[in-house]
Structure 1
């Protein structure tokens, strides 16, 4: 069951289906279609359930602000393009990436089984969220999966003082006979951007070597990292 925190700081357990249903209603009330709401709610609830809090309920205000500003189209209908025997492309229509991925999932699995390998490229989309919920089902279906995402420049190279790279998340999953799949989901930085945001919200300092401030100086303060660092 996912966890939730009350105003007093107590922890309560919320049934997964209850959380997923609540999140879906929130998304719909803020302008998404029912189909998009269902995909986003499942993704967020799954992240919360499995302890990836940086991509769970914590992300809801960000989702809603992008909907309210019109930056993202919550009613976009993804357009799947069959480009080649081993290649699918999806135009997300300025919508969220997760519904675009789900729209192509069945065709992606079919192509991988038919050709031994398949590539899916998503464009014109926003916020792919955590990657493991997308590669793990492929491993459950008996396939080896690799997912890559670009990101904004927010990572300082070793020895540098200015952000040059993205966190460029990578995830992969592989099936194991008689066991749950082997699944990795990681940022290529010392810490994920979402975890810096959570530390700032909770007033926690970060370990040494996790960030620099806007002047390129090492800092343990997550707020200084987020403020131009």
Structure 2
């Protein structure tokens, strides 16, 4: 399958597609190979977003392919290759680097995905799914205990993610059933409430969710889009690299959002 010459781009893409099954999802952009680079791949870099900073960092370490959650192309773009898009594409093409991007398939993978990886770090065991395309997870702590309060859960999140979440507290009670979905999943809050959650963890919050938290008693914790989604890409890329005999490194480009 692999050698000192690396593996073919086709094998890398096929392996990622087999693992993540992108055809199962209705998504906001293309999943899989977004930019074609060199035919042979030895060194794989993973990151959250295909930003210019990540591409430049990948060039520095002589990457043959980049694996990300947020790619370059999204539904609703006008298709013009100008400005920032031209700059990113020019770097990839000049250095013959492949760009692979998986959005919802990367969120949803049951062991390596963003939601599964965040749950593992928080010590949560998923017991069910909720929300659009069953992307969200709900469950309880692996040790069977409840968080004593929303403050207790907030402290754990701050320790794990190394940033303080924005919290809209619900009823002051122990937090046993937790629903979570990484990134911009604030629109899943009503489904989380319907699933019986005591608290909902995601990346972002919009105006309506603060009112819903106060009115339903279910706490809402917005922990950062980037902060909650920086675990799936390296988990999948490391798994695929080990399977194919590639070298891999994760490059985390800081993002306050």
Normalised TM-score (structure 1): 0.23
Higher relative contact order (CA 8 A, sep 6+): 2
TM-score w.r.t. structure 2 length?
Answer: 0.21
